[in-house]
Amino acid sequence: MKKRPWRITFIAWLFVVAGLADIGFSLSGVRQQPFHYDSLWPLALGAVAILCGFWLLRGSNWSRWLALAWLAFHVIVASLGSAQKLVVHGLLLAVIAYFLFRQEAAAYFRPART
């Protein structure tokens, strides 16, 4: 296996931290309104972000696509809010997509086993 590029390590840990933050914020909302189903979405999104980060560190090819889908979902949600959030999330999506799909990163990620 090739050595993991430091940019991939950074992005993976960024996803783990973002997932933990999503879960932390959603758990604070659960305390205020227990058994409210709207509190489950941030928990699920946080879990997906942690999953992405973990498998990015492991070099799974599918995790790149899941990470982009997770970010694209956030861009869509941000488009419902302010233009500033949309621009920030859109730029974040573009930068992370660039680093996840560069030649250097493609050599690290292995295709899924069949």
Per residue in 56-82, pLDDT (tens digit) is: 999 888 999 999 999 999 899 889 988
Cβ atoms of 60 and 109 closer than 8 Å: yes
More confident residue, 27 or 44: 44
Percent of the chain with pLDDT over 90: 54
For the chain, how are helix, strand and coil distributed in percent, rounded to 5? 80, 0, 20
Q: Which two tokens stand for residue 104?
A: 């250097």
Residue 20, pLDDT > 90, answer: yes
Each residue's pLDDT tens digit, 84-100: 999 999 999 999 999 99
Residue 65 Cα distances to 62, 69, 106, 109, 113, angstroms:
5, 6, 12, 11, 16
